[in-house]
Amino acid sequence: MMKLDLTGKNAFVTGVADDGGFGWAIAKSLQAAGANVYLASHPRVLGIVKRILERDKNAESRKLPYGAEGELAPKALIGCDVEFDTAEDIPAERREVKGYREEDVSIAGAFAKYAELSGNAPLDILIHAVAFSPEIQKSHLETSRAAYLLAHSVSSYSLIAMTRAALPYMADRDASVVGLSYLAANRVTPGYGGGMAAAKASLECDSRTLAWFVGEKGVRVNLISAGPFPSRAARSIGDMDEMVSATAAQSPLRRPISAEDVADATLFLCSDLSRNITGEVLYVDAGFHAMSPAF
C-alpha cells in the first residue's frame, strides 16, 4: 500500500490550546506521518498545553493515529499571539503580563524562536487553526467595530502575516500552508456572530490571493472548511451538540465530522499527493455545504 510519508518535513502548527480541537488532531497526524512538529500556542495557554503534553492522565489523547508508535511529542512549544506581527506591536501593558513578559511572542518572535530551536531548518508545513472574536455570541447587527476588527486581525489577517513570516523558510521546497474555514463564510449563519462570518469570508479570499503571491516560490495555500465540531472555541458559540446533530441529520452522509477527518484531509493537503492543488477550499463536512436549506 502506498504510504503518505512526511518523514523529515518540518511543520509549524498554530491553534493548539488543548487536546480537543482540530490543531491537536492535525499535529498528531503530522507527527504520525513522520513530520517534526513545532507547536505555536497562544501565550495564555502554554501552561495548559505543556501539562497535556506531560501528564499521565492525558497519555491516551497523545497517542498517535494510523497505528504509528508513540505519542505526540513536539520538537518545541513556542508562544505566539497572532494578533501581533512584531514585539513593537504588543501594547506596553500586555508586555507586563505572564506569557508576554518572558519573551517575544509576536509572529516575528515565534519564527525567530523556530529558527533558533530548529537550527534555521527549512519549513515545509504551516498550519493556521486560529480564530477569535470577543463578541462571538453577538449578532452581526450588534457587533461592535472593535470586535469586528479584532476578529479579522486574529482570524484572517494572521494568515497573511504568518505566511509572510514563514516564507523565508518555506520558499522553493514545495511547502504547504493549510488554514481552517467555516461555511458561514458563504451562507448566512445567524448564530456565528461577532464578525466571525466576515472574517472567514476574508480568510477564504486571502488564501486564494496568497496562493498567487507565494505560488512562484512553490508554496501552496489551501483551506479546509470543516463542519461543526464541539471544540472549546466552538462551544462558546452556543449549543454545539444541537448544531452538530442537526447538521449531521441534513448532510448527505448523515453523520457528524471528527477532528480526525479534518486531520486526514490536512495530511493530504500537506503531502505531495496534492502537489498541484492551491487556492482551494476543501469541505470536510459530510457534504452539508451541498444541500439546499429547503430540501
What is each CA distance from 239 to 77, 225, 244, in whole angstroms? 32, 20, 9
Q: Contacting ligand NAD (CB under 6 A), which of 11, 13, 17, 282?
A: 17
Is 111 an interacting residue with respect to ligand NAD (CB under 6 A)?
no
In the annotation, is 217 catalytic? no
Which residue of 42, 62, 113, 152 would you call a contact of ligand NAD, by CB under 6 A? 42
90 binds ligand NAD (CB under 6 A): no
63 included as an active-site residue: no
Q: Cβ distance 21 to 262 under 8 Å?
A: no
Q: How far apart are CA 128 and CA 23, in angstroms?
A: 8
Query: What is the nearest approach in angstroms of ligand NAD to the Cβ of residue 135?
Result: 14
* Residue from 94, 97, 118, 102 nearest 39 by CA: 118
With a CB cutoff of 8 Å and minimum separation 6, the contacts of 167 are 214, 217, 219
Report how far residue 41's alpha carbon sits from residue 214's, in angstroms, rounded to the nearest whole number. Answer: 25
- Candidates 228, 247, 270, 274; binder of ligand NAD (CB under 6 A) is 228
Give yes or no for residue 231 binding ligand NAD (CB under 6 A).
Answer: yes
Residue 21 as a binder of ligand NAD (CB under 6 A): the answer is yes
Q: Which of 156, 181, 225, 231 is an active site residue? A: 156
Give the C-alpha separation, 172 to 58, whole Å: 38
| Contact yes or no for 26/129 (Cβ under 8 A) | yes
The reply on whether position 15 binds ligand NAD by CB under 6 A is: yes
CB of 114 to ligand NAD, least distance (A): 15
The yes or no reply on residue 140 touching ligand NAD (CB under 6 A) is: no
Using rule CB under 6 A, residue 154 touches ligand NAD: yes
